[in-house]
Amino acid sequence: MLRKATTTDADVVVFDLEDAVAPARKSEAREAVASVLGEVADADCEVCVRVNSGAEAAGDLDVVLDGDALPDSVMLPKVADAGSVEALADTLAEHDAERPVLALVETARGVLNAAEIAAAEATDALVFGAEDLAADLGATRTTEGTEVLHAREHVRLAASAADVDAIDTLFTDFEDSEGLAEDAAFSRTLGFEGKLAIHPSQVPVINEAFTPDPERVEWAERVVAARDEAARDDRGVFQVDGEMIDAPLLAQADRILERARAAGIR
């Protein structure tokens, strides 16, 4: 399953040493991940390892970083503050294996400290975890997700303020493709750059949701072309399709084209 995961068209594959592993099998899991890292070194996707939180992370890294092949990034669960990220970064440095950290924000304390977590030097992205957060809050998970919406938006705001990516929470029912598509589309409207998948079947649904619609790409191309023309004519104001274009719309057009290029449709 670890080997197959890198062929799913996901941008990042996360080998999990935390929740997916029974406590009695942690050592076995570490060895398995360390072994497979060498076999997937040439994968088209980024390969990440999710370590355990707290002191256990050092034990994970002692094994995982002992081989010739290293993960591209490390995911840290239940991040409570910037110090947790910094401690992981120090451990990676001790192994001469500095790597970007994907900070999983999934506790009440982590959400409240999301801004400082995002601003930590090693943080490359904030990842929102709704399931553990709901458990921490004693909240009941609903299809609408209103019980975690404030936290979801707060994590996105913190990531944007620190100029790091924000990855949205998973959709647990992997047999409900329609529900996933709706949830992923909502993630995109909130500004998230991506979304966690819990099953290979979810990858194409999420990729489609985050790929800009053709008409939006065409609009963005018209905006960029009009901007370039206005710059040549030394004009600061211009319009596209009868709409005055300002800085926020220019940023939106650039973002759409960036995603289109990442999706290979431009």
Same domain, 132 and 256: no
Residues 145 and 235 in one domain: no
Q: Which of 209, 229, 245 is the last residue of a domain?
A: 209
Give the pairing of strands 243-245 and 238-240.
antiparallel
Residue 135's domain comprises: 2-209
Token pair belonging to 183: 């949830």
**Domain end point (choices 209, 225, 241):** 209
Tens digit of each residue's pLDDT (9 = 90 or more) over 151-203: 999 999 999 999 999 999 999 999 999 999 999 999 999 999 999 999 999 99
Predicted confidence (pLDDT) per residue in 56-101, tens digit: 999 999 999 988 899 999 999 999 999 999 999 999 999 999 999 9
Are 122 and 241 part of one and the same domain?
no
What pLDDT digit, counting tens, does each position of 8-53 carry?
A: 999 999 999 999 999 999 999 999 999 999 899 889 999 999 999 9
d(CA 223, CA 213) in angstroms, rounded, equals 16
pLDDT at residue number 262: 84
Indicate if 198 and 250 belong to the same structural domain.
no
Distance CA 72, CA 212 (A): 27
Which one is catalytic: 9, 44, 228, 246? Answer: 246
What pLDDT does 160 receive?
Answer: 97
Tens of pLDDT, residues 221-235: 999 999 998 888 888
Same domain assignment for residues 131 and 203: yes
pLDDT of 265 strictly over 90 = no
Return the C-alpha torsion angle 147, 163, 87, 73, nearest 10. 90
CATH of the domain at 128: 3.20.20.60
Residue 126's pLDDT band, with cuts at 50, 70 and 90, is very high
Same domain, 68 and 174: yes
Angle (nearest 5°) at CA 98 between 261 and 126: 55
Single-letter amino acid code for the residue at 249: L
State whether 148 and 173 are in the same domain: yes
Cβ contacts of residue 90 below 8 Å, gap of 6+?
Answer: none
At 237 the pLDDT is: 79
Asked about 246 being catalytic, the answer comes back as: yes
Residue 125, classed as helix, strand or coil, is strand
3-class DSSP assignment, residue 78: coil
Domain count of the fold of the chain = 2
Joined together, the tokens standing for residue 216 give: 């939006």
What pLDDT sits at residue 41? 87
Domain boundary residue, one of 192, 209, 226: 209
Same domain flag for 235 and 136: no
What's the confidence (pLDDT) of residue 234? Answer: 84
pLDDT of residue 184: 97
Angle 34-51-138 from CA coordinates, rounded to 5°: 150
Q: pTM higher than 0.85, yes or no?
A: yes
Shared domain for 147 and 234, answered yes or no, is no
Q: Say yes or no: 234 and 126 in one domain.
A: no
pLDDT at 266: 81
Over residues 3-20, the pLDDT tens digits come to: 999 999 999 999 999 999
Indicate whether 138 and 236 sit together in one domain: no
**Domain identity same for 28 and 147:** yes
Alpha helix (H) residue ranges in 77-176 = 82-94, 108-112, 114-119, 130-137, 146-162
Q: Name the H helices within 138-245.
A: 146-162, 177-190, 203-209, 214-232
